[in-house]
Structure formats: structure tokens, C-alpha cells
Amino acid sequence: MMRLLFVFFMVHTIFIPCFSFDTPGKDLPLTLDYYKSTCPTVFDVIKKEMECIVKEDPRNAAIIIRLHFHDCFVQGCDGSVLLDETETLQGEKKASPNINSLKGYKIVDRIKNIIESECPGVVSCADLLTIGARDATILVGGPYWDVPVGREDSKTASYELATTNLPTPEEGLISIIAKFYSQGLSVEDMVALIGAHTIGKAQCRNFRSRIYGDFQVTSALNPVSETYLASLREICPASSGEGDSNVTAIDNVTPNLFDNSIYHTLLRGEGLLNSDQEMYTSLFGIQTRRIVSKYAEDPVAFFEQFSKSMVKMGNILNSESLADGEVRRNCRFVNT
């Protein structure tokens, strides 16, 4: 049975919940001390580099979390999203959900090079990304959780699964729920994990249909919402192709702080992405509406579930990599 240990510690005058979960070793080949003898400094190295990277640009926190999410939803958490295209391998980077969305590959390269200099051929890119996502969350005010490690890197990637498995910003609620269920993630996991959008940004191409669609309906013609909508339309013109790459914060209240503000945004009907707002206003959202309201009211409940769900998502493994995986020396290429 999963046990929860709950404490508080302070980072930059923000109280951060710290969660620790028991992970049954008989069910998963992952452990908390996997690198204890082979690379004992790995967690410290990643933490130190992530501190520098997020200090350089707070948006880097969201970038690393998103990379981890997109990795785990395709073949499990196996680093396949990091592979470059070659003559013999079609990568996932050019798949439609990734090509205009994912960044951070150079960040991974930077950390990997340091780890390789200290512990060559030991720490997988998949583990690096999983640990980095946890540290990124903490550095912008989110919760701590223990990260089980021991993943291996895949020797393959799947353009097809990247195209079909990943939720899209304009997708309906039922379809998104189905995609999370297919990964072994519940509705509660889904609503909690989407809470990471509280520090994310979105491109115009991904919210145009929302702000020229039902935004005014969901926000009930609120005068404050009308002002917000007008500012969004300045960023994102109605014509397709015009300003497609313009970006704005998904959470316009506390865009650089990991908190529960995104759920308040949904309660106001001001969700920037259709896929987010659907969780509160969809006719099929009886369960999701209740969960959104709970997290808006109780940030500790959100942090607790987010921590559990990140561990659960991080435990989605690639059976092929477990049997025939490797530790890549360069995260962009399979070892030769």
C-alpha cells in the first residue's frame, strides 16, 4: 500500500509540500537508490544544473516537464523523444504534437555531458529527464517527490505513436480521457498533470480557435474576461498563418509560479486551451469539474496528487527497452 509522508520546507519564502511515496519493488525494476554505488552524485548534478537553467529562464522549467510528458506517452519513459532523425531511424521530434511544441534538447545535452564526464555510460537519458522534471517543478514553487530510477534508453522511436498518443490543445474531453487511460492514468491523474500548464506557454496556433470560438460563452461575458480576451486577440490574429508562433502564458495570473492558479482560470471560464477548459465546462465533465473545483480550493490536495501522478507517469516503462535497452552516451543518438 502506498504511504504518504507529508512535511513542509521553505524555498525562497514559499512553503513547498514534500511528498514521499513507497514504490513496490516487486512490480517495477525502478528503485530510489539505483545509482547509489555507480553514480552517487547524479541527483546533485542534475539539481545544480537545473537551478542554473531555470534561473537563466523560468520558462525552461515548463519546457523540461513537457519533454518528460511527451516522452512517457510514447513507448513509455524511455528517452525516445530525444532521438534525432537519421537515415535508419524516424524520430518523434517532427510528429505534429511535437514539432512546434517541444524544446529543451540542448538543455538535456548540457546536463548529459556533465553526467558523462563524472559517470560515463551509467545514467540513462530517460532517468535524466525524469529527475530534471521533478527538479524543474520544485524550482518554480512546486512540490518535491522521490524519483525512482533505473530506466533504460530505447533504441527505437515511434513517429506514429507520437502522432496518435499525445493529447492536442483542441481535443475534446472524452478523447483526452481515453488517451490518459491508455497509459494507465486515471481521470484524477489527468486533471492533476494538466495542472503543470500553470507554468506553461502556448503558441497562437494552439489557442486561436479557442479565443475566436467559445471563450466568450465560457467566461459568461465578464467585463474583466473581455479585457483579457482582447489582449489575447492582439497577440493572436484571427487569420490562420498570421502570428502562429506568437506565445502567451497559459496562466496569466502567476505564469512563473507553480501553483493552483490554472484551476481558478478554468472556474472563470478563461482557460486558454480548449483541452484545459473542457475539464470544467464540457457536458461530459461531471467528474473532472469536481476535481478542478477541489484543486482550486485546496492547493495542498493538488500538490499531493500531482506528485503521485508524476511518479505514476514516470513509471510507464517500455518493455522492449527493459529487455534490450541501453544507456545512451549521447541522448540524440543510439549507441553504435
Residues annotated in a binding site:
71, 74, 76, 78, 80, 92, 167, 197-198, 251, 254, 259
DSSP SS3 for 8:
strand
Q: Contact 32/146 with Cβ under 8 angstroms?
A: yes
Cβ 98 vs Cβ 172: under 8 Å = no
CB 236 within 8 A of CB 246: yes
Give the annotated binding-site residues for heme b.
Answer: 197
Rg (CA), the chain: 20
CA-based nearest residue to 82, from 150, 145, 151, 146: 151
Sequence-ordered list of residues with C-beta below 8 angstroms from that of 286, at least 6 positions apart, any chain:
none
Q: What is the residue-wise DSSP string for 115-169?
A: HHHHSTTTS-HHHHHHHHHHHHHHHTT--EE---B---B-S---HHHHHHHS--T
Rounded to whole angstroms, the Cα distance separating 109 from 104 reads: 9
Contact 103, 136 (CB under 8 A): no
Question: Where would I find the beta strands (DSSP E) of 188-336?
Answer: 201-203, 247-249
Cβ atoms < 10 Å from Cβ of 5: 10
- Which residues are known binding-site members for substrate? 167
Residue 264 annotated in active site: no
Strands 247-249 and 144-145: unpaired
Question: Of the candidates 104, 109, 113, 89, which has an alpha carbon nearest to the alpha carbon of residue 334?
Answer: 89
User: What letter would DSSP give residue 198?
Assistant: G
Annotated binding site for Ca(2+): 71, 74, 76, 78, 80, 92, 198, 251, 254, 259
Cell numbers that stand for 215 in this block: 471563450
Assess contact for 254 and 198: CB atoms under 8 A: yes
Query: Which residue of the set 12, 68, 70, 264 is catalytic?
Result: 70
The answer to whether 38 and 326 are in contact (CB under 8 A) is no
- The DSSP 8-state label assigned to residue 307 in this structure reads H
Active site residues: 70
